[in-house]
């Protein structure tokens, strides 16, 4: 006889199965990702084709979009708010070039597993490469936009600091590792918490204004943080991992730390820190170290969470 006060128990076969993956071997997961490099290339090419499918201009849109953004910021901060920096558009483009790459990786990778639910549930492959594919796709757009920046440099008749130009590939590689690692982590979390993408959109808006893109670090930030109640808090601002890359690109592309000010009565304007090359190297090494540590964490967390992806999707 069954006690009516006791709730009926569901048959074992009807209960949802929760899979908790064992701690994955970091070396094994790296090997699996490497073995799937051809699939990674396929995802990158496919993403580019799908994005501009049936588009008359195709990849040219990847040039027009940042150029339009640059024009808006230049009008607002260069004309309306009277920025006193000569060739401000070039300074601005150097920062936007880096930010567009970082933004594209994070915003796309966060929802990539959910967006590719069909293939995730049907095909066995290292799912981390979905997030990593956004790094490759964004880097292609980064290279195209770099071509636009070269045209801007020709228009302003300005050349880069050739002695430091080797820092650019090292700097963007360091940021790519950090962005890809953060993308892997967020893509796994977003499968369980779908609000993650919306939170990231808000966070990226704040992140943008905490990065010295539309303003000068040396002119607007360093002086204010150098003496805060007797403390130098500049290091706190530099903890932003995007800042060293942005400042490296500005230093190499804009090239001149001290320029002739456009404002009457102010003969010179210190735009960029007069740091030696070694300081930029150290800052970018910090971004690289943070990216490698985050990558190890992201791979571990992703490996533990992916066991239930099919059920959650």
Q: What is the pLDDT along the chain (313 residues), one digit of tens a residue?
A: 445 454 455 554 454 444 444 455 778 888 888 888 888 888 898 888 777 665 555 666 666 777 777 778 777 776 776 777 777 888 888 999 999 999 999 999 999 988 888 888 887 788 899 999 999 999 998 998 888 888 888 888 888 989 999 999 999 999 999 999 999 999 999 989 888 999 999 999 999 999 999 888 887 787 777 766 656 678 888 899 999 999 999 999 988 877 756 666 667 777 788 889 999 999 999 999 999 999 999 999 998 888 777 777 6
- The H or E element containing residue 255 is none
Residue 152, C-beta contacts closer than 8 angstroms, at least 6 positions apart: 89, 90, 93
Single pTM value for the model = 0.85
Question: Crossing angle for the helix pair 37-51 and 26-35, nearest 10 degrees?
Answer: 60
> What's residue 107's pLDDT?
94
Cα 247 to Cα 261: distance, rounded to the nearest angstrom: 20
Residues 216 and 178: their CA atoms lie apart, in Å, by 24
Q: Which of 189, 193, 209, 192 is nearest to 106 (CA)?
A: 189
* Residues facing 258 on adjacent strands: 270
Phi, psi of 290 (to 5 degrees): -65, -40
Closest to 182 measured CA to CA, from 206, 203, 208, 212 = 203
Give residue for tokens 């230049």. Answer: 74
């Amino acid at each position: 006889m069954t006690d009516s006060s006791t709730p009926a128990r569901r048959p074992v076969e009807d209960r949802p199965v929760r899979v908790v993956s064992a701690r994955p071997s970091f070396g094994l997961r790296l090997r699996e990702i490497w073995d799937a490099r051809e699939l990674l290339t396929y995802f990158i090419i496919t993403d580019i084709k799908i994005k501009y499918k049936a588009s008359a201009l195709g990849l040219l849109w990847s040039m027009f979009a940042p150029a339009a953004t640059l024009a808006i910021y230049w009008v607002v901060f260069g004309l309306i708010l009277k920025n006193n920096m000569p060739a401000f558009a070039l300074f601005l483009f150097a920062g936007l070039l880096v930010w567009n790459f970082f933004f594209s990786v994070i915003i796309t990778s966060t929802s990539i597993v959910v967006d590719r639910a069909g293939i995730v549930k049907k095909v066995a492959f290292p799912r981390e490469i979905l997030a990593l594919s956004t790094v490759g796709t964004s880097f292609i757009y980064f290279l195209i936009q770099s071509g636009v920046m070269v045209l801007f440099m020709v228009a302003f008749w300005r050349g880069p600091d050739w002695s430091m130009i080797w820092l650019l590939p090292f700097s963007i590689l360091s940021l790519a590792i950090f962005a890809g690692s953060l993308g892997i982590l967020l893509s796994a979390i977003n499968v369980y918490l779908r609000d993650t993408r919306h939170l990231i959109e808000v966070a990226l808006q704040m992140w943008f204004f905490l990065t010295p893109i539309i303003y000068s670090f040396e002119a607007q930030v360093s002086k204010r943080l150098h003496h805060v109640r007797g403390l130098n808090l500049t290091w706190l601002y530099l903890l932003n991992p995007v800042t060293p890359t942005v400042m490296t690109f500005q230093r190499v592309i804009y090239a001149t730390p001290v320029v002739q000010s456009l404002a009457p009565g102010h003969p010179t304007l210190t735009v960029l820190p007069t740091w030696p090359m070694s300081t930029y190297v150290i800052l970018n090494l910090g971004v690289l170290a943070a990216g490698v540590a985050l990558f190890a964490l992201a791979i571990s967390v992703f490996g533990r969470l992916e066991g239930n992806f099919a059920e959650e999707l």
